Amino acid sequence: MRNLSYLMLLMIISCKGNIEKTGSDYFTNLQFSVDTVIIDPGDEIIFLKHQLLNSDMGTDGRYFYNFNGDDHTLEKINLDELRLEEKFPFEKEGPNGTGPGIGVMGIVDENHVSITGMYQSSLFSMEGEKLRTVYYENFSLAEWHNGGDLLAGDRVLLDPDSNRIYGLIQGYEDKSMVLGILYLDEFEISRIELKSFERLSDYSFEYTISGKATVFMSQSPKVGIKKFGKKVILSNEITSALMGYDTEMDSLFMKSYTSQLTANQKEKKYKKVHETPEEYGLEYAKYKQEINFMPPFWDRDGQMFLRFSYIENESRTDVYLTAYDEGLNQIGETLVPQLTKKPAKHFAKNGKIWIYENLEDEMGFVRLEMKNNNFR
């Protein structure tokens, strides 16, 4: 078992003095403009179900990949030419099979893709050859349906360079969440507490309806885990604070921020257990009326991180954008009046933020361009 005391000490040292305040604002004198583009599918039909859940930006910034759950192919979309360029077939069963259900797809690099499920993570070539599978049962993480801890597919990073898996592990009973590091050579696991995730269980909503069949519904705050270079960045929607794990130094750090435009975190208390879906829906709507933070994303052209947040009211949604330098120091924040709903799948490319939009059953993107003297 790894030495967690050392990691926790490093986290405490790293957290001191890291409350960021906005000084000179990156967005001063900046102007936004918006346009819309549609991806040419050619003779194919691009898979648009589930709000592009199984899609990811390529590491070279040119291609966007989308897994088609209908025909079990990986769609390669050329963003420079705005067209579907190629489709790679994957097998469902056999030595190269993805297994039951597709899980969650992520781009590892331009030659490899990961597919993670509830019981395993697999590494594939772009052509669909299975190169490796890691089974969670070897790390005591496959009994979530019997009250064990959960390592969900959308909270997992398979990192072949370090031969590790990084994931957010959720406790079955208390809904607490920790960073798990699975060391694939040694079949060992480390669990690291996350200060900015401590309040997540206060915002879990659920209801149960008993009848001919028991219906259980639950909703926990959205979380994010993404690797940028040698750092794994961790986020959740209830706070502006970010946490990161330096994979070279094996150390955890935390960044806290002070906003001039919104609250820094959710503050209100909510009823967690409900008896009807209507009561559940009303309480969850109140929850969304406080500030909600989305995961940060990297702008390779501007060499900075960007992050959306939003407040969702009955009549309107206010969307905000925050910018951070490479060290995750806040350099600016602004309201984005051109956006009037929660941003769907998005990424940065060529000085613009591309936001997915279904345009009459075609893959479209609303592109938010930022222009000022500092933007590169």
Do residues 76 and 65 make contact, with C-beta atoms less than 8 angstroms apart? yes
Q: What is the pLDDT of residue 149?
A: 83
**Residue at 307 is within a domain:** yes
Nearest to 78 by CA among 47, 57, 109, 51: 57
- Per residue in 154-167, pLDDT (tens digit) is 899 999 989 999 99
Domain extent, residue 41, equals: 4-371
d(CA 191, CA 170): 11
Q: What is the pLDDT of residue 213?
A: 65
Q: What is the pLDDT of residue 198?
A: 95
**Residue at 171 is within a domain:** yes
pLDDT by position in tens, the chain (length 376): 444 433 333 333 343 334 444 445 888 888 999 999 999 999 999 999 999 999 999 999 999 999 999 999 999 999 999 999 999 999 999 999 998 767 899 999 999 999 998 889 999 999 999 999 999 999 988 776 666 788 888 899 999 989 999 999 988 777 789 999 999 999 999 999 999 999 999 999 988 877 666 677 888 999 999 999 999 999 999 999 999 999 999 999 999 999 999 999 999 999 999 988 899 999 999 999 999 999 999 999 999 999 999 999 989 999 999 999 999 999 999 999 999 999 999 999 999 999 999 999 999 999 999 886 544 4
Q: What is the pLDDT of residue 14?
A: 40
Nearest to 347 by CA among 47, 39, 65, 44: 65
Q: Is 270 left (phi over 0), alpha (psi -120 to 50) or beta?
A: beta
**Residue at 209 is within a domain:** yes
Q: What is the pLDDT of residue 79?
A: 98
**Residue at 41 is within a domain:** yes
Nearest to 252 by CA among 8, 48, 53: 8
Nearest to 349 by CA among 135, 157, 80: 80
In b/e form, how buried is each residue of 179-213, taking b as 16+ CB within 10 angstroms? bbbbebeeeebbebebebbeebbebbbebeeeeee
d(CA 35, CA 352): 10
| For the chain, counts of helices (H) and of strands (E) | 2, 29
- Per residue in 197-224, pLDDT (tens digit) is 999 999 999 888 776 666 778 889 999 9
**Residue at 376 is within a domain:** no
**Sign of the Cα pseudo-torsion (350, 371, 298, 318, in order):** negative
Do residues 100 and 63 make contact, with C-beta atoms less than 8 angstroms apart? no
Q: Could you tell me where the DSSP H helices lie in the chain?
A: 4-15, 277-288
Do residues 55 and 40 make contact, with C-beta atoms less than 8 angstroms apart? no
**Residue at 120 is within a domain:** yes
Nearest to 134 by CA among 61, 183, 174: 183
Q: 55-57 and 63-68 as β-strands: parallel, antiparallel, unpaired?
A: antiparallel
Number of domains in the chain: 1
d(CA 33, CA 317): 19
3-state secondary structure of 155: helix
Q: What is the pLDDT of residue 19?
A: 40
Widest CA span in the chain: 64
Q: What is the pLDDT of residue 336?
A: 96
Residue reference for tokens 């997992």: 156
**Residue at 250 is within a domain:** yes
Do residues 109 and 59 make contact, with C-beta atoms less than 8 angstroms apart? yes
**Residue at 283 is within a domain:** yes
CATH number of the structural domain spanning residue 241? 2.120.10
How many CB atoms neighbour CB 333 within 10 A?
A: 22
